[in-house]
């Protein structure tokens, strides 16, 4: 009570205070300094003074008020723990949502892998059954055609061209391998006489797109990530032809460029094995039926999904 | 003393019961806690000063919580909710610090 006695009397009473303690109403000039100097509710001092003037309250009233205080303390305690529990509860909710999403993602990925494996075994079965059914001559022809179109797994000697992002690919767009880089390299390989080409294990057919989607590169239906390995099977002279090509020269100079420093390597490899491509959805051109209006248009409309 | 026991009992009760707070009241919970802390430290200081008053304590607690909640509610409606909550926390924080300083002086004479 020592500090409070030095302070001027105030009648700025908080609500719920006993009436009958009139004092001149003063307002502190500086609200902030007042706030810092007297954190205690003036009401306690006023109540104490009133008690001193009026004498102690009846015992029953005092007991009742004590009970109310205890209840208030109980409520404050509940408030503290509830607020704490709220904060604790909300954090795991976020974490569990995240974990759920990750698990979902992994499940789907595993499912996709399963389906791909299933498709592979089924395709192998189809090949086997067809080989049983077909005569030898047409079988050889078919095999050649399939190897050329990417429908059949092929093995042989060839070359692996590795393209990799430069060291500062995160900041420098030019230091990243783009879809056009893969397109140029694969085209150069085809031009050098490649018979089969794959990018990161994705076999290319005549209709397999290599395209950029945002910062990702998509080959066929699946996206590939660096370092990109373009494998090609072809005649022995393919390597030299590719190395002499303008594309290879361009990429060698880019690899030496300080700003880009793309990784570019050409390796000759024996016994490369390129997987079969996923069978593309075949599209057939059909002659439209002459319509009732009698204007048969020769244009063909691709009908997707027809097999 | 009995008030301290009641406080502890309240904490235990809150943990045991773990009541669900309606979503509408959730933003006001932290502010209510700060306001309650202010009332508690004010009460402790008054107790140490020998002028504790039950009625004063209960009313300061209720009005603190209600006013703090109302200010934040008003701020939310006016689009300055977070700023006003900061204001409430600063003012109550200053009061809490002042009261704790007084308690410290009284208990440790320092």
Tens-digit pLDDT string for chain A (307 aa):
444 444 444 444 444 444 555 556 665 566 666 666 665 567 787 887 887 887 777 778 888 888 888 888 888 888 888 888 888 877 777 788 888 899 999 999 899 889 989 988 998 888 788 888 877 777 788 888 887 888 888 888 999 999 888 887 777 777 888 888 889 999 999 999 888 999 988 888 888 888 888 878 888 877 788 789 999 998 988 889 998 999 889 888 888 887 778 888 888 888 888 888 876 677 788 888 887 554 444 444 444 444 4
Residue of B nearest to A90 (CA): B26
Asked if B54's CB is within 8 angstroms of A68's CB, the reply is: yes
Q: Which residues contact A138 (CB under 8 A, 6 or more apart)?
A: none
- DSSP class of residue B11 equals H
- A150 φψ region: left (φ > 0), alpha (ψ -120 to 50), beta (else): left
* Model pLDDT, residue A22: 56
Asked if B96's CB is within 8 angstroms of A72's CB, the reply is: no
| Pairwise CA distance, residues B104 & A46, whole Å | 23
pLDDT tens per residue across span A108-123:
989 988 998 998 899 8
Q: How far B71 CA lies from chain A's nearest CA (Å)?
A: 17
The sheet carrying A202-203 orders its strands as: A202-203, A196-199, A228-233, A154-164, A263-274
* Model pLDDT, residue A11: 43
Instruction: Please choose, from the candidates A30, A263, A293, the residue with its C-alpha nearest in 3D space to the C-alpha of residue A163.
Output: A263
* Model pLDDT, residue B109: 79
Asked if B49's CB is within 8 angstroms of A1's CB, the reply is: yes
User: For the purposes of burial, counting CB atoms within 10 Å of the CB of B60, is it exposed (0-12), middle (13-18) or buried (19 or more)?
Assistant: buried
* Model pLDDT, residue A4: 43
Chain B positions in Cβ-Cβ contact with residue A72 (cut-off 8 Å) = 57-58, 61-62
Residue of B nearest to A64 (CA): B54
Does position B60 have pLDDT exceeding 80, yes or no?
A: yes
* Model pLDDT, residue A30: 66
Out of A39, A51, A78, the one facing B10 most closely (by C-beta) is A78
* Model pLDDT, residue A21: 52
Out of A38, A48, A76, the one facing B7 most closely (by C-beta) is A76
* Model pLDDT, residue A110: 93
Neighbours of A86 (CB within 10 A): 16
User: For the purposes of burial, counting CB atoms within 10 Å of the CB of A283, is it exposed (0-12), middle (13-18) or buried (19 or more)?
Assistant: middle
- DSSP class of residue A174 equals G
* Model pLDDT, residue A108: 93
Which of A74, A84, A89 is the best mutation test for B, with the most CBs of B within 10 A?
Answer: A74
Contact A27, A33 (CB under 8 A): no
Confidence class for position B23, pLDDT limits 50, 70, 90: confident
Asked if A78's CB is within 8 angstroms of B102's CB, the reply is: no
Q: How far B47 CA lies from chain A's nearest CA (Å)?
A: 10
Does position B67 have pLDDT exceeding 60, yes or no?
A: yes
Mean of the pLDDT values across residues B80-85?
A: 83
- DSSP class of residue A62 equals H
């Amino acid at each position: 009570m020592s500090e409070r006695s030095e302070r001027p009397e105030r009648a700025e009473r908080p609500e719920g205070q006993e009436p009958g303690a009139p004092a001149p109403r003063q307002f502190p000039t500086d609200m902030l300094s007042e706030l810092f100097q007297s954190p205690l509710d003036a009401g306690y001092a006023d109540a104490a003074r009133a008690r001193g003037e009026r004498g102690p309250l009846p015992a029953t009233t005092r007991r009742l008020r004590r009970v109310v205080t205890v209840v208030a303390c109980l409520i404050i305690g509940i408030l503290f723990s509830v607020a704490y529990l709220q904060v604790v509860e909300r954090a795991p909710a976020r974490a569990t949502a995240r974990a759920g999403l990750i698990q979902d993602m992994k499940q789907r990925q595993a499912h996709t892998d399963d389906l791909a494996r299933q498709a592979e075994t089924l395709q192998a079965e189809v090949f086997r059954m067809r080989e049983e059914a077909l005569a030898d001559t047409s079988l050889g022809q078919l095999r050649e055609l399939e190897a050329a179109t990417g429908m059949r797994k092929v093995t042989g000697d060839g070359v692996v061209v590795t393209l990799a992002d430069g060291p500062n690919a995160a900041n420098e767009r030019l230091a990243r391998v783009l879809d056009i880089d893969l397109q140029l390299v694969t085209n150069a390989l085809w031009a050098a006489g490649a018979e089969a080409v794959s990018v990161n294990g994705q076999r290319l057919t005549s209709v397999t797109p290599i395209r950029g989607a945002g910062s990702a590169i998509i080959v066929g239906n699946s996206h590939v990530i660096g370092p990109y390995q373009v494998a090609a099977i072809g005649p022995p002279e393919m390597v030299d032809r590719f190395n002499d090509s303008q594309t290879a020269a361009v990429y060698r100079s880019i690899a030496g460029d300080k700003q880009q420093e793309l990784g570019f390597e050409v390796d000759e490899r024996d016994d490369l094995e390129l997987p079969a491509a996923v069978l593309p959805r075949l599209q057939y051109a059909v002659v439209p039926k002459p319509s009732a209006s009698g204007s048969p248009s020769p244009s063909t409309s691709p009908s997707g999904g027809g097999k | 003393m009995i008030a301290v026991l009641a406080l502890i009992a309240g904490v235990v009760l809150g943990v045991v019961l773990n009541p669900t707070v309606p979503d509408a009241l959730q933003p006001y919970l932290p502010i209510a806690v700060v306001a309650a802390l202010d009332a508690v430290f004010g009460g402790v200081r008054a107790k140490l000063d020998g002028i504790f008053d039950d009625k004063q304590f209960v009313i300061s607690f209720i009005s603190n919580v209600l006013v703090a909640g109302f200010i934040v509610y008003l701020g939310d409606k006016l689009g300055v909710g977070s700023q006003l909550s900061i204001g409430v926390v600063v003012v109550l924080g200053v009061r809490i610090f002042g009261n704790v300083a007084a308690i410290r002086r009284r208990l440790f004479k320092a």
